Chain A
Amino acid sequence: MAYDLKMRVWRGDADGGELTDYSVEVSEGEVVLDALHRLQATQTGDLAIRWNCKAGKCGSCSAEINGRPRLMCMTRLSDFDPADTITVTPMRTFPVIRDLVTDVSFNYEKARQLPYAELGPRDADGKRRMMQVDVERGQEFRKCIECYLCQDVCHVVRDHEDNKQHFAGPRFFIRYAELDMHPLDTHDRRQLAQGAAGLGMCNITKCCTEVCPEGIHITDNGIIPMKERVVDRKYDPLVWLGNKIGIRNKDNDGRTEV
């Protein structure tokens, strides 16, 4: 069943812009990105949209729909009343390039600051071995499609531009957690996570988890375990004493702080 959808789309660039009203014909089963594509094809040929897979796997079409960070390709029109007006804006945490396209290079800069995995020596036969049970915890974080909706919604940088310099954000906290849980990695990033990456800035209000299109438990399985690991390293005198007198497990042996 086709109907005319009322849309408000932010049009503009870094110098300014505004929400502009449109009406576009849509059909049953379509998503917000379909509506925007039809708008682009029939009325606004210069509407800038970043998109790629239309399947929720490339993380390109991140935007804010009725004020909520979402993937445009995964937001069904059937979730809204046909009489509703759907408002689409670019992500409000990153600099806008044009219309719905933002400059997300902040995230690539943060990725570069994160020391990659440094594995220990290979076994005698030249192989490396890991037990499945030891790696599966980190595999949840590998589902990340780097849509940066979690970075967009995080109030630490969304509401405080000045924090961007000292805060890596939830996408990279799960990367820190993934590597810290890695059974073979030899880097100890706990100090780095708390210091340069700004893990302590996170006040675990869980918006990152709420918006994650992959359903990754960013806060419960990534950020909080990482915070607890930092407590082990920095704030727990019992752990420190246990390490000193050698009664703690040797799980972190062989790691060097980066």
Chain B
Amino acid sequence: MASTDQGVSSPGRARIEARTLREDRWWVQPLVTFVVFSGFVVFATFRAFMGRDYYAEPYLSPFYSPCLGDCVEGASDFGQPFGWWPLSAALIILVFPLGFRMTCYYYRKAYYRAFWLSPPACGVAEPHQAYSGETRFPLILQNVHRWFWYAAVLVGLVLTYDVVLAFRPMPAEYAVGDGETSGVHMGLGTLLMLLNVAFIWLYTLSCHSCRHIVGGRLRHFSKHPVRYKLWTWVSRLNESHGTWAWYSLFSVAIVDFYVFLLATGTIQDVRFF
């Protein structure tokens, strides 16, 4: 690009052939993002299309929650209104968290840089000849982020309910000692699900659209003290939105993989009580 008369080599600008003069390892961050996100997409796609090994009582994989299709016994806590759905039940529900993350302001930055190289890093020329940003289809659809946020809140509530269920007493056949079938149960799966839902909520509530909805859209905070307070809380969370995005990405994959290992009988759940 720099050898043509476009971009940083446009007529009138200082003639410098290099597309960047940066000497630091600016490529590390986009490369890591590319590798990790690609890995997650491959893993999530594989697991979503599997259509099995997503439930190991009392744990339900977050990829399949709520399980609204033709799910295995015990996995559908909200009925099976899509029982006729011929494909994996994950595909019914995953569009919402997927859409939420795809339109997320943090993820947009990350994948525009790492996948579309637009730009790969600050002060590094991008390889594209033309650029229209988010003004045309399909990228103009990024403006629907808040709709996915509404859906993500519902999904967050369902995942929270799943954690509550993960504390429930286990049936007799799972008992590993006296008294195991009554009272509250907690295993490593419960703990992982608890951490996952905490990260999911931190990610969801730190969202820029959430920040706008709770109070950011106002011009007169003084007339809305409660919403102002909410806005200040969300603003504080929002500073680490990218961190919560990464943590929750890992946690959701880890919980799913743990449930997969349990469901396939590869490992036994570690029981705390």
Q: Are B122 and A68 in contact (CB under 8 A)?
A: yes
Q: Are B123 and A205 in contact (CB under 8 A)?
A: no
Q: Are B119 and A205 in contact (CB under 8 A)?
A: yes
Q: Tell me the smallest distance from the CB of B63 to a CB of chain A, in Å.
A: 28
Taking CB atoms, residues of chain B closer than 8 Å to A68 are: 22, 122-123
Q: Are B16 and A92 in contact (CB under 8 A)?
A: yes
Which A residue sits closest to B127, measured CB to CB? A159
* A249 CA / B227 CA spacing, docked (Å): 12
Q: Are A235 and B16 in contact (CB under 8 A)?
A: no
Query: Does B228 make an interface contact (CB < 8 A)?
Result: yes
Q: Are B219 and A158 in contact (CB under 8 A)?
A: no
Q: Tell me the smallest distance from the CB of A254 to a CB of chain B, in Å.
A: 10
CB contact list, B231-271 vs A, under 8 A: 238-239
Taking CB atoms, residues of chain A closer than 8 Å to B146 are: 228, 231, 236
* A231 CA / B146 CA spacing, docked (Å): 9
Q: Tell me the smallest distance from the CB of A199 to a CB of chain B, in Å.
A: 9
Contact of B7 among A160, A206, A207, A229 (CB under 8 A): A160
The digit string for A14-26, where 1 denotes a CB below 8 A from any CB of B, is 1011110000000
Q: Are A252 and B143 in contact (CB under 8 A)?
A: no
Q: Tell me the smallest distance from the CB of A115 to a CB of chain B, in Å.
A: 17
* A66 CA / B140 CA spacing, docked (Å): 35
The digit string for B90-102, where 1 denotes a CB below 8 A from any CB of A, is 0000000000000
With A66-B21, A87-B21, A203-B108: A93-B8 Cβ-Cβ less than 8 Å: yes
Which one of B13, B109, B238 has the greatest number of beta carbons of chain A within 10 Å? B13
Q: Size of chain B's interface in residues, with CB distance under 8 A?
A: 55
Q: When A and B form their complex, what is the total count of cross-chain residue pairs whose Cβ atoms lie within 8 Å?
A: 161
Contact of A251 among B20, B126, B145, B217 (CB under 8 A): B217
Which B residue sits closest to A210, measured CB to CB? B122
Taking CB atoms, residues of chain B closer than 8 Å to A131 are: 220-222
* A95 CA / B10 CA spacing, docked (Å): 9
CB contact list, B136-171 vs A, under 8 A: 139-140, 143-146
Q: Are A235 and B14 in contact (CB under 8 A)?
A: no
Q: Are A134 and B208 in contact (CB under 8 A)?
A: no
Taking CB atoms, residues of chain A closer than 8 Å to B221 are: 131, 133-134, 137
Query: Does A156 make an interface contact (CB < 8 A)?
Result: yes
The digit string for B17-59, where 1 denotes a CB below 8 A from any CB of A, is 0001111100000000000000000000000000000000000
Dominant secondary structure at the A interface: mixed
The digit string for A78-98, where 1 denotes a CB below 8 A from any CB of B, is 000000000101101111100
Contact of B216 among A66, A95, A201, A225 (CB under 8 A): A225
Q: Are B108 and A96 in contact (CB under 8 A)?
A: no
Contact of B140 among A183, A200, A252 (CB under 8 A): A200
* Chain B interface (Cβ < 8 Å from any Cβ of A): 1, 6-8, 10, 12-16, 20-24, 105, 108-109, 112-113, 118-119, 122-126, 128, 130-135, 139-140, 143-146, 208-209, 211-212, 216-222, 224, 228, 238-239
Can you show 16 pairs from A to B with CB atoms below 8 A apart?
A10-B16, A12-B14, A66-B21, A67-B123, A89-B14, A131-B222, A134-B220, A155-B119, A159-B6, A161-B6, A180-B219, A205-B119, A205-B122, A207-B123, A225-B208, A225-B211
* Chain A interface (Cβ < 8 Å from any Cβ of B): 10, 12, 14, 16-19, 64, 66-69, 87, 89-90, 92-96, 102, 131, 133-134, 137, 153, 155-156, 158-161, 163, 180-183, 198, 200-207, 210-211, 220, 224-225, 227-232, 234-236, 249, 251-252
Beyond A160-B6, A230-B143, A234-B143: 16 further Cβ-contacts under 8 Å?
Answer: A10-B16, A14-B12, A68-B123, A95-B12, A102-B14, A131-B221, A153-B123, A159-B8, A160-B131, A198-B135, A200-B134, A201-B133, A203-B108, A228-B217, A231-B145, A251-B217
